[in-house]
A = this chain, B = another copy of it.
Amino acid sequence: MLTLNLDPNKPQPIYMQIYQYIKNEILLHHLTPGTKLPSKRSLATQLGISTITVEGAYGQLVSEGYIYARLKSGYFVSPVENYRQSMNFFDQQQINNNNPQKKNTSPDWEDNIPQQDTQKNSELKDSPIAPAPHRVDLSSNSLLAENFPFSTWSRLLRHTINEKQQLLLTQSPTAGVAPLRQAIANHLRHFRGMDISPEQIVIGAGTEYLYELLIKLIGRDKIYCVEDPGYQKLRRIYRDNGACCIALPIDQQGMSVTALNTVSCDVIHISPSHHFPTGIITPISRRYELLGWAAAGPRYIIEDDYDTEFRLVGRPIPSLFSIDMSNKVIYMNTFSKSLASTIRISYMVLPKPLMEEFNNKLNYLSCTVSTFEQYTLAEFINQGYFERHINRMRNNYKKLRQQLLKALTSHPDHERIKILQQSSGLYFLLQIDTSLSDRDLQARLRQKGLMLQPLQHYYQNRQAAPEHTFVVNYSSIASTDIHQIVDALFSSLV
């Protein structure tokens, strides 16, 4: 009999805990080759969980070669050589893959890579026997896996494969298949009040890829300005594509024409509806100023509307694209946050003249998204599942946010913190009254299992960054962890 203790409070889901336990037992030779494992049903009964969960764990162990199935006999521990050979590589990647147990829902260009790397390395050293420490990651936004509509998606995929065999094998136009572009146009009309034609939409495997298309379209010789603070990754993409990229300081309203006039710039890449990480919403007057700037030359504005579906409070803000009369704005959005970052689908909307140029210049390229997923996503949107999914997730996040804010503000030491930019989105800023440096505080928090990124981290010009301010990405936490998070936070201040 396997004696394992499941802990629903761990960030690891139950099936991974089972998988990890059995794998360790095998690696420690507590379970020897040929040993029969309990049947899925009996283990499920013993642990008081569903057989599907056990199936998930066993399936993973089979696919990694640790155990094998014999028809009508059950599961058995494999001979050592079945998994020994590939172990290093797999262990490294599986542990790295499995432990976070969540999908990244931050903008595609979120630069949380260095932290992940550290994590990967340290876990690699511990692996495979030491269990991962309980850790809460507030440094990047993630959606919990349990929220993905697997059964609907699976059904629509099956239906698509049954119904559209010819279409599925027909090459997609560079910009994507018509039904998905139509579905996105309808979604934008309904959800964002944008009146666009599906022919203006370009679909690609992630926003990073779309940026690269844009650089090809607009020109590698142009100067691109991004926001400071903002994502380091974004600057890196422009630079790695051979384009000049300047990080321009923003003010209280976002990017300003005053700042723009200090540099020579052709294209600005901004998120006026909800700036990350400051949460700034660029007011309408500033938006018109920026449009004026763009209209005054051969210039473009890339409007990154990355978390529009999850603006939790406040009235909807019209997109820059909607109020642009000069064909200067490129609208960009993604299904990474609203559906799953691992299904690589993002899209952009080009002004009509630029779309024409796109069709002339770049129609020789293949679309990077599989037709199977393009048609499935089209059905997912058309049949109303996308809207339902967004609504459900928004409610979840709203509740989570309220619980976390309440716990923070009702703590006895609550006067030492201040919540900023709490009105919107999947993160907020936390100003802390402390004599510790950001670095020291971050280290202390990490010791308590709390991963938190200081606002400074997102500044190119670190001197300009306010101190003692941290970005709290709360979307991946479990509500059962809130108490522990708040305790860890305040006890680090002492």
Contacts and interface: CB of A to CB of B under 8 A. Distances in A.
Contacts of A242: 220, 241-242
Interface of A: 13, 15-16, 55-56, 59-60, 63, 86, 89-90, 92-94, 96-98, 100-104, 108, 111, 113, 117, 143, 145, 148, 150, 153-154, 157-158, 161-173, 177-179, 182, 197-199, 205-206, 208-209, 212, 216, 220, 233, 236-237, 240-242, 340-344, 362-373, 379
B369 A344 contact: yes
B199 A216 contact: no
Contacts of A366: 108, 206, 208, 341, 344
A148 B371 CA distance: 14
A216 to B, nearest CB: 5
A486 B163 CA distance: 35
A173 B93 contact: yes
A158 B182 CA distance: 27
Contacts of A101: 166, 170
A157 B373 CA distance: 12
14 contacts: A55-B163, A56-B164, A60-B164, A60-B167, A86-B198, A89-B199, A90-B179, A100-B171, A143-B169, A148-B168, A157-B157, A168-B342, A206-B366, A236-B364
Contacts of A367: 344
Given A90-B178, A97-B177, A344-B205, A117 B363 contact: yes
A479 to B, nearest CB: 19
A92 B175 CA distance: 14
A170 B98 contact: yes
A104, A153, A166, A341 interface centre (most CB from chain B within 10 Å)? A166
Contacts of A199: 89
Given A97-B171, A208-B365, A220-B242, 7 more contacts: A55-B163, A94-B178, A145-B169, A145-B170, A170-B342, A212-B212, A343-B370
Contacts of A143: 169
Contacts of A364: 111, 113, 233, 236
Nearest to A58: B163
B170 A161 contact: no
Contacts of A220: 242
B154 A16 contact: no
Contacts of A240: 216, 362
Nearest to A233: B364
Nearest to A206: B366
Nearest 8 CB-CB pairings of A with B: A93-B178, A59-B163, A205-B368, A103-B169, A342-B371, A145-B169, A154-B161, A97-B170
Contacts of A163: 55-56, 59-60, 63
A342 B372 contact: yes
Contacts of A205: 205, 209, 344, 368-370
Given A108-B366, A199-B89, A166 B145 contact: yes
A182 B60 CA distance: 15
A68 to B, nearest CB: 13
A303 B171 CA distance: 25
Nearest to A367: B344
Contact of A173 (B96, B171, B340, B344): B96
A443 to B, nearest CB: 24
A81 to B, nearest CB: 15
B13 A166 contact: yes
A98 B365 contact: no
Nearest to A341: B171
Contacts of A111: 364
A177 B373 contact: no
Given A89-B198, A205-B368, A242-B220, A342 B161 contact: no
A89 B150 contact: no
Contacts of A179: 63, 90
B170 A103 contact: yes
A368 B59 contact: no
Nearest to A336: B366
A102 B344 CA distance: 24
A476 to B, nearest CB: 11
A145 B171 CA distance: 11
